Amino acid sequence: MSYTGPDFEPPQRRRSPLRRPLTVAIAALVPGALLGWGVYAAVGGPDDGDTGGSDRAGAVRTSAAPSAGASSPGDSASAFPHGDDGKKPAGSSPAPTSKTSPSAAQPPASGPLKGKVVVIDPGHNPANFQHASEINRKVNVGTHWKECDTTGTATNAGWPEAKFTLDVAHRLRTLLEAQGATVKLTQDGDRPYGPCVDERARIGNEAHADAAISIHADGSGAGNRGFHVIMPGPVHEGAADTRAIAAPSAELGKRVAGNFVRVTGTAPSNYLGEGTGLVTRTDLGGLNLSTVPKVFIECGNMRDSKDAALLTSGSWRQKAAQGMSEGIVSFLRG
């Protein structure tokens, strides 16, 4: 079944949401991380962490605001940033199956994120393939109607994106709970399909999340590599009103991107975001309907063999989760 991308419809005109090179953000973040390390360690950061987890609030200061309606029809890759192959993953799954033990993590009595709520949205659902009619029904996302959910993409070897997103979500949950956060997943492989994109947003809203992150991996052309973080542009139409969350979401996005590149050592996208790893969009229901600070992250391109080698590596996924976690911690402590 072809993936037409309810999450990722033909994109908006990209107007350089944040032209500032990510390296600048990184340069700003690193000293903050180092400064914050003592505090972080003192309040119970993971002993095996290889990086500081508490970038200072002042570490990142940019005046750039996400521009509305960015996009670039001329960018063919971005037109189908999420899986244009229509190829159903094979039954076999040669990719890694290493798992974390999320349930084993017991939130500490205290921690830097005590009292904070984080909603993690693992993109798609491993069982969406068996529920085409259900996930194809249209839901209103304020600006327009789009499919409830999609199958997501897969590596060329057939490892589905939905398994990737759930694995990283588990790792991220463990890390955030270790910091004292209350973590909720929008789905945990525990429902037949979905949830729909509007419900994914609603779960974050109703949890009054302090931060929400939707985890994905892209399905673009071979040679397109790297991660990017998607932030909501200002939208005010129908049930969608992102005006209040656009700025904090941009801040969240910058911190996640900066920490992700630092911890994973993976370069930002070479096909979107003009080297910043940051993209602003106004067509995603999961962002448009959010009333809490929220970003998407496309961790890499599953259709590129080099990116796929990273995405299918358990140790790389752990770093990916660590980068996200440190970005979220930085944002929430800011």
User: What is the distance in angstroms between the CA of the first residue and the CA of the last residue of the chain?
Assistant: 43
For residue 281, which of 209, 225, 218, 233 has the smallest C-alpha distance?
233
Q: Between 176 and 284, whose beta carbon lies closer to Zn ion?
A: 284
For residue 328 the two structure tokens come to: 């979220």
Question: CB 4 → Zn ion: shortest distance, Å?
Answer: 12
Q: Between 181 and 302, whose beta carbon lies closer to Zn ion?
A: 302
> Of the residues 177, 251, 298, 326, which is catalytic?
298
DSSP state of 268: B
Question: CB 303 → Zn ion: shortest distance, Å?
Answer: 12
* Per rule CB under 5 A, count of chain residues that contact Zn ion: 3
Q: Between 112 and 152, whose beta carbon lies closer to Zn ion?
A: 152
Q: Between 160 and 234, whose beta carbon lies closer to Zn ion?
A: 160
Please identify, among the stretches 44-52, 86-94, 209-217, 243-251, the one whose residues bind Zn ion according to the rule CB under 5 A.
209-217
Residue 115 CB-density burial (10 A; 0-12 exposed, 13-18 middle, 19+ buried): exposed
Please identify, among the stretches 22-30, 150-158, 182-190, 284-292, the one whose residues bind Zn ion according to the rule CB under 5 A.
150-158
Question: CB 219 → Zn ion: shortest distance, Å?
Answer: 8
Please identify, among the stretches 72-80, 147-155, 304-312, 321-329, the one whose residues bind Zn ion according to the rule CB under 5 A.
147-155
Catalytic annotation present for 298 = yes
Question: CB 297 → Zn ion: shortest distance, Å?
Answer: 10
Write the binding mask 65 to 104 for Zn ion: x where contact by CB under 5 A, - elsewhere: ----------------------------------------
Question: CB 124 → Zn ion: shortest distance, Å?
Answer: 6
Question: CB 135 → Zn ion: shortest distance, Å?
Answer: 13
**What's the distance, CA 18 to chain centroid?**
17
Q: Coil, helix or strand for 138?
A: strand
For residue 289, which of 146, 90, 141, 177 has the smallest C-alpha distance?
141
Q: Say whether residue 219 binds Zn ion (CB under 5 A).
A: no
Residue choice 6, 142, 152, 226 for contact with Zn ion (CB under 5 A): 152
| DSSP class per residue in 218-229 | EB--TT---BEE
| DSSP class per residue in 153-206 | -B-TT--BHHHHHHHHHHHHHHHHHHTT-EEEES--S-SSS---HHHHHHHHHH
Residue choice 123, 180, 273, 285 for contact with Zn ion (CB under 5 A): 123
Q: Between 111 and 152, whose beta carbon lies closer to Zn ion?
A: 152
For residue 195 the two structure tokens come to: 């949830």
Report which residue type is found at 307. D
Of all residues in the shown chain, the one whose CB is closest to Zn ion is 216
For residue 283, which of 237, 227, 216, 334 has the smallest C-alpha distance?
237
Q: Say whether residue 216 binds Zn ion (CB under 5 A).
A: yes
Q: How much of the chain is in helix, strand and coil states, percent to nearest 5?
A: 35, 15, 50
Please identify, among the stretches 13-21, 73-81, 145-153, 230-238, the one whose residues bind Zn ion according to the rule CB under 5 A.
145-153
| DSSP class per residue in 227-257 | BEEEEEPP-EETTEE-TTTHHHHHHHHHHHH
Q: State the residues that interact with Zn ion by CB under 5 A.
A: 123, 152, 216
Catalytic site positions: 298
